Amino acid sequence: MNFGVVTIKDIAKELGISTSAVSKALKDSHEISQKTKILVLDCAKRLNYQPNHMAQSLKKGSSKSLGVIVSTIDNHFFAQVINGIESVAHSRGYNIIISQTHESYELEMLNIGHLTHRSIDGLLISLSTESVDVTHLKNLREKGLPIVFYDRVSDEIDTHKVIADNYGGAFEATQALIKAGYRKIAHITSAVNVSITAERLKGYQAALAAHGLEQNEGLIKYCLHGGKDLAEIENALNQLLLSPNRPDAIFTASDRITTTTLILLHQLGFKIPGDIALLGFTNTPLAEVLNPSLSSVYQPGFEMGQKAAEMLINLIESKRPVTEFETVVLPTQVFIRNSSQPLAL
């Protein structure tokens, strides 16, 4: 069903010539007279004919489509990544098909199956928080599907990867809290198996060590679904706030955990930063106007998407097998706002 889309057959019928002649005229073939070419082009313009690039690419053995796996599209960071991917993909003649995992390993496998059945040319993926086993991706890689990881990556598959400087961002954020006078800094993070969890935890711990502060495992809380499950964040926060060693600041490690923690602290009646300070990874454009304005670690989501798309398309279009791969680390930025201001002495 074409829903009114104009085809070569429509132009041929309108002009009373063969579809072959129309096709050749549109391709500016020397076999067609200039007079016929002008008639065909004028008719195509009048009927608003648009070439079917998908059909053309399939004839060449390529779908010109990229599969994109994200956690959720309502996450500000992933929305920015998608924008970056689109900007590069469209400029190079590719479409993108987006699938969400909602932090589910099963859904990740299911969606990748759907994408590969649609004959995508390559896959851009940020792993779900449940994805420990990456056999499904290894199998696709061995079959020749180009894959590029971004944000949450796997060391078990040798391919291009694009990440943020998670260690550096976490170190700088924790250090900013220490310099503001906070000493009992808690860390609420994602699942242990996720690459960004390990990198941000190391940065947090390194900053504490660099300033001679004792590391307290009781101040580190894990949310196995990356903050998607509200109860996990509530539980982690309650454990910290009810502890005899209650923290005076919290460093949060993901977009959803950060903004949800701010909301929960408000609901519990805590003054920020009067009772407890907050600084975390988040790309929300509202950080400046929240109450209080939210100190944050910002990841270059748009640039990450651009770079990942460029690397994937280069893999797809390479004339020779690619055997050397690169991990690109993009810088993060720490913005200090009211939620982590030092307390008045």
The per-residue pLDDT for 58 is 47
Q: Quote the CA–CA distance of 211 and 30 in Å, as a whole number.
A: 76
pLDDT for position 33 = 93
Quick one: pLDDT at residue 7? 87
Which residue in 289, 277, 268 sits closest to 247, CA to CA?
Answer: 277
Q: What is the pLDDT of residue 88?
A: 98
What are the chain's domains? 8-51 (no CATH), 62-164+301-330 (3.40.50.2300), 166-299+334-340 (3.40.50.2300)
Query: What confidence score (pLDDT) does residue 343 get?
Result: 65
Query: What pLDDT does 345 receive?
Result: 47
At residue 61, the pLDDT reads 56
Q: Dump pLDDT digits (tens) for 134-150.
A: 999 999 999 999 999 99
Three-class HEC string of 224-245: CCCCCCHHHHHHHHHHHHCCCC
Q: Which portions of the chain are predicted below pLDDT 50? A: 1-3, 54, 57-58, 345
Which long-range contacts does 243-247 make (Cβ < 8 Å, 24+ apart)?
243/218, 245/184, 245/216, 245/218, 245/219, 246/184, 247/184, 247/185, 247/186, 247/219, 247/276
124 - beta bridge partners?
A: 68, 148
Distances (CA, A) of 55 to 27, 47, 52, 65, 172: 15, 20, 6, 12, 50
Q: What is the pLDDT of residue 27?
A: 87
